[in-house]
Amino acid sequence: MSGRMWAVQEDTPHGQLLSWNGRVIVHGDRPELEFLLAGPIRIVPCPPSIPPEQTIELRFHPQFSHHQFPLRREAYR
């Protein structure tokens, strides 16, 4: 991964990072995460202690595979 990666965290006092199949879900564009995801969450920098092989980029998550990145917001109107 290059550049800052963002993770999704539960908006609770000890919020867990959201994961899929044991891998932390990350994305390189914070505004895109904020646009796509809603609910009781926070977008936080992915901790450097989590190695890249323990992450999955959002675009590879099955629920987001139909999205084209980078997002074109006009496609969502």
DSSP class of residue 77?
-
Number of Cβ within 10 Å of residue 47's Cβ equals 10
Question: Quick one: pLDDT band at residue 2, thresholds 50, 70, 90?
Answer: low
Confidence (pTM) = 0.86
* Beta strands at 23-27 and 19-20: parallel, antiparallel or unpaired: antiparallel
Pairing state of beta strands 23-27 and 6-10? antiparallel
More confident call, 20 vs 38? 20
Which residue in 37, 47, 56 sits closest to 16, CA to CA? Answer: 47
pLDDT of residue 29 exceeding 60: yes
Give yes or no for residue 4 having a pLDDT over 80: yes
For residue 22, the 8-state DSSP code is T
